[in-house]
Structure 1
Protein backbone atom coordinates (compact mmCIF):
# COMPACT_ATOMS: atom_id res chain seq x y z
CA UNK A 1 0.00 0.00 0.00
CA UNK A 2 1.13 3.52 -0.73
CA UNK A 3 2.20 5.55 2.29
CA UNK A 4 -0.32 8.25 1.40
CA UNK A 5 -3.18 5.74 1.24
CA UNK A 6 -6.07 6.70 3.47
CA UNK A 7 -8.67 4.70 1.52
CA UNK A 8 -7.50 1.29 2.73
CA UNK A 9 -7.33 2.46 6.36
CA UNK A 10 -10.85 3.82 6.83
CA UNK A 11 -14.32 2.34 6.77
CA UNK A 12 -17.30 4.66 6.19
CA UNK A 13 -20.61 3.66 7.74
CA UNK A 14 -23.98 5.31 7.15
CA UNK A 15 -24.95 7.28 10.23
CA UNK A 16 -27.74 9.67 9.16
CA UNK A 17 -29.05 9.07 5.66
CA UNK A 18 -29.83 11.95 3.31
CA UNK A 19 -33.58 12.52 3.42
CA UNK A 20 -36.30 15.08 2.92
CA UNK A 21 -35.88 18.29 4.88
CA UNK A 22 -36.72 18.23 8.57
CA UNK A 23 -39.35 20.91 9.18
CA UNK A 24 -39.64 20.71 12.96
CA UNK A 25 -37.47 20.01 16.02
CA UNK A 26 -37.45 16.21 15.71
CA UNK A 27 -33.90 14.98 16.41
CA UNK A 28 -31.77 13.33 13.76
CA UNK A 29 -30.64 10.08 15.40
CA UNK A 30 -27.86 8.10 13.77
CA UNK A 31 -27.56 4.41 13.26
CA UNK A 32 -25.75 2.63 16.08
CA UNK A 33 -22.11 2.33 15.06
CA UNK A 34 -20.18 -0.80 16.02
CA UNK A 35 -16.51 0.06 16.48
CA UNK A 36 -15.32 -3.57 16.68
CA UNK A 37 -12.07 -3.95 14.75
CA UNK A 38 -11.29 -0.21 14.68
CA UNK A 39 -9.39 2.05 17.02
CA UNK A 40 -10.98 5.36 16.03
CA UNK A 41 -14.33 6.86 15.05
CA UNK A 42 -15.14 10.27 13.63
CA UNK A 43 -18.63 11.45 12.77
CA UNK A 44 -18.75 13.67 9.68
CA UNK A 45 -21.84 15.87 9.36
CA UNK A 46 -22.94 17.56 6.15
CA UNK A 47 -25.61 20.25 6.26
CA UNK A 48 -27.55 21.42 3.27
CA UNK A 49 -29.83 24.42 3.39
CA UNK A 50 -30.93 25.54 6.87
CA UNK A 51 -33.88 27.75 6.01
CA UNK A 52 -35.04 28.99 9.44
CA UNK A 53 -33.45 32.29 10.47
CA UNK A 54 -32.92 31.32 14.13
CA UNK A 55 -32.54 27.52 14.04
CA UNK A 56 -29.72 25.82 15.93
CA UNK A 57 -28.64 22.18 15.96
CA UNK A 58 -26.96 20.70 19.02
CA UNK A 59 -24.92 17.51 18.97
CA UNK A 60 -24.85 14.67 21.48
CA UNK A 61 -22.58 11.62 21.30
CA UNK A 62 -23.62 8.59 23.35
CA UNK A 63 -21.87 5.26 23.91
CA UNK A 64 -22.74 1.86 25.31
CA UNK A 65 -21.41 -1.67 25.62
CA UNK A 66 -24.79 -3.00 24.43
CA UNK A 67 -25.66 -3.40 20.75
CA UNK A 68 -29.12 -1.92 21.38
CA UNK A 69 -27.58 1.04 23.26
CA UNK A 70 -29.14 -0.12 26.56
CA UNK A 71 -27.62 1.94 29.34
CA UNK A 72 -26.26 4.48 26.87
CA UNK A 73 -24.46 7.40 28.44
CA UNK A 74 -23.44 10.77 27.10
CA UNK A 75 -19.77 10.59 26.20
CA UNK A 76 -17.62 12.67 28.57
CA UNK A 77 -15.66 15.51 26.97
CA UNK A 78 -12.31 13.79 27.67
CA UNK A 79 -13.39 10.98 25.28
CA UNK A 80 -14.19 13.34 22.42
CA UNK A 81 -11.91 14.93 19.86
CA UNK A 82 -13.38 18.36 19.39
CA UNK A 83 -16.47 19.38 21.27
CA UNK A 84 -20.15 18.81 20.74
CA UNK A 85 -20.53 22.60 20.56
CA UNK A 86 -17.99 22.77 17.71
CA UNK A 87 -19.92 20.06 15.87
CA UNK A 88 -23.20 21.97 16.21
CA UNK A 89 -24.74 24.07 13.47
CA UNK A 90 -26.90 27.15 13.19
CA UNK A 91 -29.00 28.94 10.59
CA UNK A 92 -25.80 30.62 9.34
CA UNK A 93 -24.16 27.28 8.46
CA UNK A 94 -25.83 26.41 5.15
CA UNK A 95 -23.83 23.83 3.20
CA UNK A 96 -21.18 23.47 5.91
CA UNK A 97 -19.56 20.38 7.37
CA UNK A 98 -18.66 19.47 10.94
CA UNK A 99 -16.78 16.64 12.65
CA UNK A 100 -16.42 15.11 16.09
CA UNK A 101 -14.24 12.20 17.14
CA UNK A 102 -14.75 9.48 19.74
CA UNK A 103 -11.82 7.89 21.59
CA UNK A 104 -13.64 6.14 24.44
CA UNK A 105 -13.66 2.45 25.20
CA UNK A 106 -17.32 1.59 24.57
CA UNK A 107 -18.04 -0.57 21.54
CA UNK A 108 -21.28 1.06 20.33
CA UNK A 109 -21.71 4.75 19.59
CA UNK A 110 -24.62 6.91 18.44
CA UNK A 111 -24.91 10.54 17.33
CA UNK A 112 -27.99 12.69 17.91
CA UNK A 113 -28.41 16.13 16.33
CA UNK A 114 -31.33 18.07 17.79
CA UNK A 115 -32.77 21.15 16.09
CA UNK A 116 -34.27 24.02 18.06
CA UNK A 117 -36.41 26.89 16.78
CA UNK A 118 -36.80 25.13 13.43
CA UNK A 119 -39.92 26.04 11.51
CA UNK A 120 -38.17 26.00 8.14
CA UNK A 121 -36.22 23.26 6.40
CA UNK A 122 -33.03 21.53 7.53
CA UNK A 123 -31.16 19.06 5.34
CA UNK A 124 -28.59 16.97 7.23
CA UNK A 125 -26.66 13.75 6.65
CA UNK A 126 -23.80 12.08 8.52
CA UNK A 127 -21.17 9.41 7.97
CA UNK A 128 -19.41 7.50 10.74
CA UNK A 129 -15.80 7.14 9.66
CA UNK A 130 -14.05 4.23 11.35
CA UNK A 131 -10.26 4.31 11.24
CA UNK A 132 -7.10 2.64 12.44
CA UNK A 133 -8.35 -0.84 11.52
CA UNK A 134 -6.90 -3.84 13.29
CA UNK A 135 -6.89 -5.56 9.89
CA UNK A 136 -6.04 -3.58 6.78
CA UNK A 137 -6.73 -3.05 4.00
CA UNK A 138 -10.40 -2.35 4.57
CA UNK A 139 -12.83 -3.58 1.89
CA UNK A 140 -13.75 -1.43 -1.07
CA UNK A 141 -16.62 -1.01 -1.61
CA UNK A 142 -17.37 -1.01 2.12
CA UNK A 143 -19.51 -3.88 3.41
Structure 2
Protein backbone atom coordinates (compact mmCIF):
# COMPACT_ATOMS: atom_id res chain seq x y z
CA UNK A 1 0.00 0.00 0.00
CA UNK A 2 1.22 3.50 -0.81
CA UNK A 3 0.37 5.05 2.58
CA UNK A 4 2.88 7.45 4.04
CA UNK A 5 0.36 9.62 5.91
CA UNK A 6 -0.49 7.04 8.58
CA UNK A 7 3.16 6.32 9.38
CA UNK A 8 4.47 9.86 9.93
CA UNK A 9 3.95 12.53 12.56
CA UNK A 10 4.90 16.05 11.44
CA UNK A 11 5.84 18.46 14.22
CA UNK A 12 6.49 22.19 14.11
CA UNK A 13 10.22 22.76 14.42
CA UNK A 14 10.74 26.38 13.27
CA UNK A 15 7.54 28.33 12.70
CA UNK A 16 7.11 30.60 9.71
CA UNK A 17 7.80 34.02 11.20
CA UNK A 18 9.16 37.47 10.56
CA UNK A 19 12.35 37.56 8.57
CA UNK A 20 15.69 37.19 10.30
CA UNK A 21 17.58 40.39 9.48
CA UNK A 22 20.82 39.72 11.35
CA UNK A 23 22.99 36.80 12.43
CA UNK A 24 20.80 35.62 15.29
CA UNK A 25 20.53 31.79 15.29
CA UNK A 26 17.07 30.35 14.61
CA UNK A 27 16.50 27.51 17.06
CA UNK A 28 13.82 24.87 16.62
CA UNK A 29 11.43 23.42 19.12
CA UNK A 30 12.85 20.47 21.04
CA UNK A 31 11.56 17.31 19.35
CA UNK A 32 10.77 14.25 21.48
CA UNK A 33 11.44 11.11 19.43
CA UNK A 34 9.94 8.69 21.97
CA UNK A 35 7.74 6.19 20.13
CA UNK A 36 9.34 6.81 16.72
CA UNK A 37 12.20 5.10 14.95
CA UNK A 38 13.22 7.98 12.72
CA UNK A 39 13.36 11.77 12.51
CA UNK A 40 13.98 13.96 9.49
CA UNK A 41 14.12 17.74 9.63
CA UNK A 42 12.80 19.52 6.53
CA UNK A 43 14.17 23.07 6.29
CA UNK A 44 12.20 25.46 4.10
CA UNK A 45 13.61 28.71 2.76
CA UNK A 46 11.63 31.68 1.54
CA UNK A 47 13.17 34.88 0.26
CA UNK A 48 16.83 35.24 1.31
CA UNK A 49 17.59 38.87 0.54
CA UNK A 50 21.26 39.32 1.47
CA UNK A 51 23.43 38.35 -1.52
CA UNK A 52 26.36 37.03 0.52
CA UNK A 53 24.61 35.41 3.51
CA UNK A 54 25.25 31.80 4.50
CA UNK A 55 23.13 29.63 6.81
CA UNK A 56 24.79 26.83 8.76
CA UNK A 57 22.76 23.93 10.16
CA UNK A 58 23.51 22.23 13.49
CA UNK A 59 21.66 19.25 14.97
CA UNK A 60 21.92 18.66 18.72
CA UNK A 61 20.59 15.88 20.94
CA UNK A 62 20.35 14.88 24.60
CA UNK A 63 18.26 13.04 27.17
CA UNK A 64 17.07 16.05 29.21
CA UNK A 65 13.65 17.38 28.15
CA UNK A 66 14.98 20.95 28.12
CA UNK A 67 18.19 19.84 26.34
CA UNK A 68 20.35 21.21 29.15
CA UNK A 69 22.64 18.32 28.18
CA UNK A 70 22.63 19.23 24.48
CA UNK A 71 25.58 18.06 22.41
CA UNK A 72 26.26 18.23 18.70
CA UNK A 73 25.11 15.03 17.01
CA UNK A 74 28.06 12.97 15.73
CA UNK A 75 28.09 12.48 11.97
CA UNK A 76 27.51 8.73 12.40
CA UNK A 77 24.06 9.54 13.88
CA UNK A 78 23.00 11.74 10.95
CA UNK A 79 21.54 10.81 7.58
CA UNK A 80 23.03 13.30 5.19
CA UNK A 81 25.32 15.98 6.54
CA UNK A 82 24.87 19.33 8.19
CA UNK A 83 26.88 20.76 5.30
CA UNK A 84 24.37 19.44 2.76
CA UNK A 85 21.49 20.83 4.83
CA UNK A 86 23.14 24.27 5.08
CA UNK A 87 22.46 26.87 2.42
CA UNK A 88 23.27 30.31 1.02
CA UNK A 89 21.34 33.37 -0.07
CA UNK A 90 21.18 31.82 -3.56
CA UNK A 91 18.84 29.11 -2.23
CA UNK A 92 15.53 31.03 -2.18
CA UNK A 93 12.42 28.85 -2.11
CA UNK A 94 14.17 25.52 -1.56
CA UNK A 95 13.82 22.61 0.85
CA UNK A 96 16.75 20.91 2.59
CA UNK A 97 16.72 17.79 4.75
CA UNK A 98 18.77 16.05 7.40
CA UNK A 99 17.94 12.85 9.26
CA UNK A 100 18.66 11.73 12.82
CA UNK A 101 19.24 8.07 13.76
CA UNK A 102 20.83 8.48 17.18
CA UNK A 103 19.63 7.02 20.47
CA UNK A 104 19.00 10.21 22.46
CA UNK A 105 15.40 11.13 23.24
CA UNK A 106 15.39 14.86 22.41
CA UNK A 107 16.68 16.61 19.29
CA UNK A 108 16.75 20.18 18.02
CA UNK A 109 17.87 22.02 14.92
CA UNK A 110 19.63 25.37 14.77
CA UNK A 111 20.13 27.48 11.64
CA UNK A 112 22.81 30.14 12.12
CA UNK A 113 23.12 32.97 9.59
CA UNK A 114 26.43 34.65 8.80
CA UNK A 115 26.92 37.91 6.87
CA UNK A 116 23.14 38.37 6.89
CA UNK A 117 21.99 41.97 6.82
CA UNK A 118 18.87 41.39 4.71
CA UNK A 119 15.59 39.64 5.28
CA UNK A 120 15.78 35.84 5.46
CA UNK A 121 12.70 33.65 5.82
CA UNK A 122 13.42 30.19 7.24
CA UNK A 123 11.11 27.55 8.73
CA UNK A 124 11.36 23.84 9.47
CA UNK A 125 9.24 20.75 10.06
CA UNK A 126 10.31 17.72 12.10
CA UNK A 127 9.01 14.60 10.41
CA UNK A 128 8.84 11.62 12.78
CA UNK A 129 8.48 8.19 11.20
CA UNK A 130 8.46 4.47 11.91
CA UNK A 131 5.97 4.82 14.78
CA UNK A 132 5.63 2.25 17.54
CA UNK A 133 1.84 2.78 17.37
CA UNK A 134 0.23 2.68 13.92
CA UNK A 135 -1.60 4.62 12.51
CA UNK A 136 -0.38 8.03 13.68
CA UNK A 137 -2.92 10.63 14.81
CA UNK A 138 -4.66 12.85 12.28
CA UNK A 139 -4.62 15.73 12.86
CA UNK A 140 -1.11 15.38 14.31
CA UNK A 141 -0.71 16.02 18.04
Query: Unpaired segments of 5 or more residues in structure 1?
Result: none
Determine which of 48, 72, 86 is the counterpart of 1:88: 86
Per the alignment, residue 26 of structure 1 pairs with 24
Q: What CA deviation, in whole Å up to 9, does each residue of 1:82-104 have, x standing for no partner?
A: 00000001011000110000000
**Alignment of structure 1 residues 1-143 onto 2, 5 Å:** 3-143=1-141
- Distance in 2 between the 1:139 and 1:124 partners? 27
> Helix, strand or coil for the counterpart of 2:138?
coil
Give the TM-score taking structure 2 as reference length: 0.99
Structure 2: 5+ residue stretches without partners: none
Query: In the TM superposition, what is the alpha-carbon distance from 1:16 to its structure 2 partner?
Result: 0.1
Secondary structure, in 3 states, of the residue corresponding to 1:85?
Answer: helix
Tell me the distance in 1 between the aligned counterparts of 2:57 and 2:102. Answer: 17
Q: Structure 1 residue 77: deviation in Å?
A: 0.3
Runs of 4 or more above 2 Å deviation = none
Deviations 1:10-51 (A, max 9, x none): 000000000011100000100000001000000000000000
CA RMSD of aligned residues (A): 0.4
TM-score, normalised to structure 1, is 0.98
The alignment partner of 2:83 has SS state of helix
